[in-house]
Amino acid sequence: MSEINLRQMRETLNQKLNSEELRTLCFDLGIDYDNLGGEGKGGKIRELVYYLNRRSQLAQLANYLADSRPDWAIDTTPPRIPHIRPVSAGGVLAQEQLRRALRRGQLTLFVGADLPCTLTGQPDRQTLADGLARYAGIPSGGTLPEVATLVMENGRRYEFTMYLREAIAAAEQQPQPLHRALVGLVQEHRLEMVFTTATDGLLESAFLDEEVIINKVINDNDLGVLLPDAPTLVKLYGDWQQPASLVVTSIDENQFVAGNLPGKSDLLDELHRALRRNAVLFVGVDLAQTAVTALFDNTIGSKFQQPAFALCSHLTPTAAASWHSNRGLTVLDEEVVPFLQGLLE
């Protein structure tokens, strides 16, 4: 959005309006409240802002609020464009290796859930963990699997799955430049399969915006009904709209890595084959997590046989050097979106 801060608009409306006032606002704007998607007040507000933004009508809402609620002070200045570092010499060499793999159709793309909110519009896993800890009244600072395990041990798994759904639904629901860059890679190079541990639906929405039909695989049964010639998005950790499919707790992760989680063993086999056969690009995968290390060590045995790179890995320089020497993976200190866009050139 070029002129109005979408997030501030959504958060201000959510804070200032009750449900009845939201209905009145929609009526005054000529919008059918009942036909808006979303659940609850927060979901309706998100869909309202999204609806108006798609039609370039947010200025209408901003003007209405300026006249009727001038004390709300919604920021209508353009967002600051951050400084983007040029790709380093090492990054350029990595891009060339990845392009060669793409031209051969031998690249596995693995998108994690540990990218910052500024890139995805969604809270990262640590933000979700801290929010869940506050919600459940337990100490914060643990990882999401650790916090979720504590909640589940108190017989409250339903609570943390509902919290995650509400947190994801309340966040940005529009695909970001990151998602569009990933879709561009899949389209231009006809990638057959993309793996992700993200549970939101933004990557699927980016495909939909580009009118690309995809196979979405959440459980093993989905592998039996794939459309031919369509890219496949494998959601290893499930989908936020299907709570039973979510891999969240430490127990869930350990069972998944060991191939013992019901409905996920075939997905794990697909991942194993892809990581062994192809060059790999990890984007937003926290390689410092024990479950992630175990997953890759169980998969590749010792070292990646093909070039393997990671963007936004959360590793210290010492840990990154260890991954390179012990597992053959190169951690890249590059801006994520410009690097991905560079693979399209």
Q: List, for residues 317-345, the tens digit of each pLDDT value.
A: 999 999 999 999 999 999 999 999 999 86
Instruction: Please report, rounded to a whole number, the percentage of residues in the chain having pLDDT higher than 70.
Output: 92
End-to-end Cα distance, the chain:
25
Dig out the tokens for 268 from the structure: 């794990």
Residue type, 58: L
Torsion angle (degrees, nearest 10) of CA 43, 237, 153, 133:
-50
pLDDT digits (tens, 9 = 90+) for 2-31: 344 666 777 778 878 888 888 998 888 888
pLDDT band of 217, cuts 50, 70, 90: very high
pLDDT digits (tens, 9 = 90+) for 66-107: 777 776 656 555 555 556 788 899 999 999 999 999 988 899
DSSP string, 76-92: -SPPPPPP-PPPPHHHH
Contact 72, 324 (CB under 8 A): no
pLDDT of residue 73: 59
Q: Give the range among 30-39, 66-75, 235-244, 262-271 with minimum mean pLDDT.
A: 66-75
Contact 199, 113 (CB under 8 A): yes
Mean pLDDT of 287-294: 87
CATH number of 89-122+173-342: 3.40.50.1220
Q: How far apart are CA 98 and CA 343, in angstroms?
A: 8
Mean pLDDT of 31-57: 78
pLDDT of residue 197: 95
pLDDT of residue 180: 92
Q: How far apart are CA 287 and CA 332, in angstroms?
A: 13
- How high does pLDDT run on average in the chain? 86
pLDDT of residue 5: 64
DSSP string, 102-171: HHTT-EEEEE-S-S-HHHHSS--HHHHHHHHHHHHTS-S-S-HHHHHHHHHHTT-HHHHHHHHHHHHHHS
DSSP 239: B
Mean pLDDT of 118-147: 87
Q: How far apart are CA 179 and CA 165, in angstroms?
A: 20
pLDDT of residue 82: 57
Contact 183, 212 (CB under 8 A): yes
**Count of CB atoms within 10 A of residue 113's CB?**
21
Q: Which of 29-38, 44-53, 80-89, 304-313 has the highest mean pLDDT?
A: 304-313
Q: Is 161 left (phi over 0), alpha (psi -120 to 50) or beta?
A: alpha
